[in-house]
């Protein structure tokens, strides 16, 4: 009985050891310094382990190990052995260009909130989207404008607001 328990404990530790590099790779993927070749090699190393261990744990371990490589989306092209992953560091699609310290503030002057999307804080990005939708986006409100560099605009309210909307719709239609 106790021997069996010790054996299972040993297997569990072995899995921990095997999984650690995978966890490292995943965190690197999240940090944007992806290394798909490393991920693949870890997955290949895990495959036989899962076959051996699977029956001991009622198949759970094998299911978990088999699920891991799927993390790489089926649609995405698998990178073939590229010896120089250095080139990746420059540009990542869909990521905002962060400054050295990783945090920048909203592009709108005097706002001071941290930027969330395209250099704008959540509220000002909403405003930008609304202005864009109603044909009123100011030329200064560019994507990824430098922090604290764009003058906020004051929107008309009430009747003036609907007039302005109508004028914008006609003027730029």
Task: Examine residue 61 and tell whether it contacts Zn ion (CB under 5 A).
Answer: no
Segment 13 to 32, residues that bind Zn ion, using CB under 5 A:
none
Q: How far apart are CA 86 and CA 30, in angstroms?
A: 16
Indicate which single residue of 15, 42, 111, 150 sits in contact with Zn ion (rule: CB under 5 A): 111
Residues 89-108 that bind Zn ion (CB under 5 A): 106, 108
Q: How far is CA 171 from CA 127, 164, 166, in A?
A: 20, 10, 8
Q: Closest by alpha carbon to 43, among 60, 59, 24, 19?
A: 19
Q: CB–CB of 111/101 below 8 Å?
A: no
Minimum distance from CB of 140 to Zn ion (Å)? 14
The minimum distance between CB 155 and Zn ion, in angstroms, equals: 15
Minimum distance, C-beta of residue 126 to Zn ion, in the bound complex (Å):
10
**CA 12 to each of CA 4, 20, 48, 60: distance values in angstroms, whole numbers, following the listed order:** 12, 13, 15, 12
**With respect to Zn ion, which residue has the nearer C-beta, 98 or 169?**
98
Residues 120-139 that bind Zn ion (CB under 5 A): 121, 124
Q: Least distance (Å) from Zn ion to the CB of residue 129?
A: 13
Give the nearer residue to Zn ion in terms of CB position, either 37 or 152.
152
Distance separating alpha carbons of residues 42 and 23, to the nearest angstrom: 10
Residues in contact with Zn ion by CB under 5 A are 106, 108, 111, 113, 121, 124
């Amino acid at each position: 009985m106790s021997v069996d328990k010790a054996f299972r404990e040993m297997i569990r530790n072995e899995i921990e050891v095997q999984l650690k590099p995978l966890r490292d790779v995943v965190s690197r993927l999240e940090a944007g310094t992806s290394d798909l070749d490393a991920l693949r090699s870890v997955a290949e190393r895990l495959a036989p382990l899962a076959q051996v261990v699977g029956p001991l744990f009622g198949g759970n371990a094998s299911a978990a190990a088999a699920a891991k490589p799927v993390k790489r989306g089926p649609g995405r092209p698998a990178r073939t052995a590229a010896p120089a992953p250095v080139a990746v560091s420059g540009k990542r699609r869909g990521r905002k260009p962060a400054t050295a310290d990783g945090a920048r503030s909203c592009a709108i002057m005097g706002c001071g909130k941290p930027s969330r999307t395209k250099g704008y804080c959540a509220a000002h990005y909403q405003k930008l989207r609304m202005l864009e939708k109603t044909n009123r986006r100011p030329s200064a409100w560019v994507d990824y404008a430098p922090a604290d560099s764009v003058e906020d605009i004051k929107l008309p309210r009430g009747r003036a607001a609907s007039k302005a909307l109508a004028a914008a719709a006609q003027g730029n239609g």
